[in-house]
Structure 1
Amino acid sequence: MNSDDLLVLAWEDVFKGVRELAQKIYLSKYVADVIIGVFRNGWIVGRLLGDLLGVEEIGGIGIKFYRGIGETRERPLVISGPTINVRDQKVLLVDDVSDSGRTLQTAIDLVRLYGAKEIRTATLYIKKRTMLVPDYYNDSTDKWIVFPWEYGEIIREISMKRFGDLSLQSIKKTMDLLRINDEELMKIIYESSMIKLRRV
């Protein structure tokens, strides 16, 4: 994997995307009673959307499909149902990206099972190969998207795959690959990795 295969987003990029997504939802005149974000990434996007759209009831739904960069399970694994009541509610179901569309479809099926009156879907991105295009999205890409709330996770994974360790040098090389220039972040990732390794 090289930097051309990645779309690395900063917080400013995410907020700009959420703002654009909120505008599309607002202009469609869809007023959700609740927002359900797919844990983990979709919940963050959902929380930001809820703030901009004035939706106070924000919950999550636990579904895992990815094991790592580009590595999926055989099928999405449901960890938990909606954390708030969706029965007879208009739901905005949010995730970060509709990649294959399988996670989003699983979430739709589950929220429907819990009695939602109406469901619309929103993601910041879709992959060009997705089987499920959400009602609202901003852009499409075939790159692996790195969100700012997962820098540490991605840096650790790439460092281990490329260099076989979590040394300061490996973390620095990975951050250079990702074009993330943040000395303090590099130290935090390194130190926290060392603490975790000492516990094992």
Structure 2
Amino acid sequence: MPRPRPTPARDILEVDWPFFGELCRALALKVARAYQPEVVLGIAKAGVIPAAIVATILQCDYASITIARATQDAEPELLIGPPPSIRGKRVLLVDETCDSGDTMKLALHAVRASRPAEVRTAVSFSTGRWATDFHAFATTKAIVLPWDREVVDEGELVMRPDLRSYLEG
């Protein structure tokens, strides 16, 4: 599901790959200093990217769950739940951003139903009112992540049409 489009009243933070990599390293360090997860669980789609990087840095197992929204305004829906292998383990649940917390709350409910020993939450960007246990960067700006900026159109990478006016304006 596409991330909500920026509004003219909200500043934009364009994130490139090097900055995102640094955020993932910073997030892994914050986690390592306070928690020792056995499994890092990414929330697909976009949460799997920081989750895989953090899991690699922390030398942990990695898995994912899938949560999506039919439309931007719809409630999130669990499509693929956590693997049974998280039972009795320390889990770090990771997404790319957290604003309302709706996706994270649904993911937490699904993870807790699998009976891990402990679960904590982390995001690359904390953008709203719902707080996770760990975050790399807090901002009130609308975020455009490197994988959201461009799409393939007729065999070529082009700027996403719905973002063009915001990013080029």
Name the TM-score class by shorter chain.
0.7 to 0.9
Q: Aligned ranges for residues 51-200 of structure 1 at < 5 Å?
A: 51-55=56-60, 57-65=61-69, 67=71, 71-73=72-74, 75-83=75-83, 85-128=85-128, 130=129, 132-153=130-151, 155-158=159-162, 174=164, 177-178=166-167
Instruction: Provide the rounded CA distance (Å) in 2 between the counterparts of 1:111 and 1:63.
Output: 12
Cα shift at 1:177: 4.4
Aligned length: 156
- Where 1:106 maps in the other structure, the secondary structure is helix
Contact 1:38 1:93 in 2 (8 A): yes
- Please identify which structure carries the higher strand content: 2
* Cα shift readout 1:94-121 (whole Å, capped 9, x = no counterpart): 0011110110011011000112110011
State, as a whole percentage, how many aligned pairs show the same letter.
28
Greater radius of gyration (CA): 1
Contact 1:125 1:137 in 2 (8 A): yes
RMSD: 2.2
TM-score by length of 2: 0.83
Cα shift at 1:7: 1.3
Aligned to 1:35: 40
- Equivalent position to 1:21, from 14, 21, 27: 27
* Cα shift readout 1:70-128 (whole Å, capped 9, x = no counterpart): x321x211111014621111100000111101100110110001121100110011123
With over 3 angstroms needed to count, the CA separation of the structure-2 counterparts of 1:136 and 1:117, relative to structure 1, is: same
Instruction: Provide the rounded CA distance (Å) in 2 between the counterparts of 1:89 and 1:72.
Output: 34
TM-score by length of 1: 0.71
Instruction: Provide the rounded CA distance (Å) in 2 between the counterparts of 1:60 and 1:140.
Output: 24
Instruction: Provide the rounded CA distance (Å) in 1 between the counterparts of 2:10 and 2:112.
Output: 38
Structure 1 runs (4+) deviating above 4 angstroms are none
